[in-house]
């Protein structure tokens, strides 16, 4: 549980620093982020699942943690996360499988 929660805390600290250093930039980024993950033609839940798949493909540990935290809060099941991992494995081969195992480990830590 420590590693993933430590990563999430590091992200929050980094965002706070950037907000203080570049508020105009971070305000725009946060507005864009919030707009992207609003319900639209795709639900916020679907968009977060897509975000998780992208994070797996890009091998972004921090992104995986952030999306998993949001998905857990939305009530997404581990089975749904595993389906996203399956798509990641298909599209990304061996690295997709490796990051799928990391994703499940992180899910259990949040």
pLDDT at 69 over 80: yes
User: Given phi > 0 = left and psi -120 to 50 = alpha, else beta, which region is 22?
Assistant: beta
pLDDT at 1 over 80: no
Model confidence pLDDT, tens digit, residues 87-96: 988 888 888 8
Helix, strand, coil percent content, the chain, rounded in steps of 5: 85, 0, 15
Domain ranges of the chain: 2-109
Read off the pTM.
0.86
Model confidence pLDDT, tens digit, residues 26-56: 999 999 999 999 999 999 999 999 999 999 9
Contacts 24+ apart (CB under 8 A), 42-46: 44/74, 45/71, 45/74, 45/76
Write down the residue that tokens 């996203």 correspond to. 84
Residue 25: in which H helix or E strand, if any?
helix 23-36
Least confident stretch, 19-23, 57-61, 77-81: 57-61
| Superfamily grouping for domain 2-109 | AhpD-like (1.20.1290.10)
- pLDDT value for 26: 97
């Amino acid at each position: 549980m420590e590693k993933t929660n430590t990563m999430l805390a590091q992200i929050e600290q980094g965002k706070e620093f950037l907000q203080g250093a570049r508020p105009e930039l971070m305000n725009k980024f946060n507005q864009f982020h919030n707009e992207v993950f609003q319900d639209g033609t795709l639900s916020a839940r679907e968009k977060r699942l897509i975000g998780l798949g992208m994070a797996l493909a890009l091998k972004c540990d921090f992104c995986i943690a952030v999306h998993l935290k949001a998905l857990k809060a939305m009530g997404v099941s581990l089975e749904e996360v595993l389906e996203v991992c399956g798509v990641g494995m298909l599209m990304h081969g061996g690295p997709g499988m490796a990051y799928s195992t990391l994703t499940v480990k992180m899910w259990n830590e949040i």
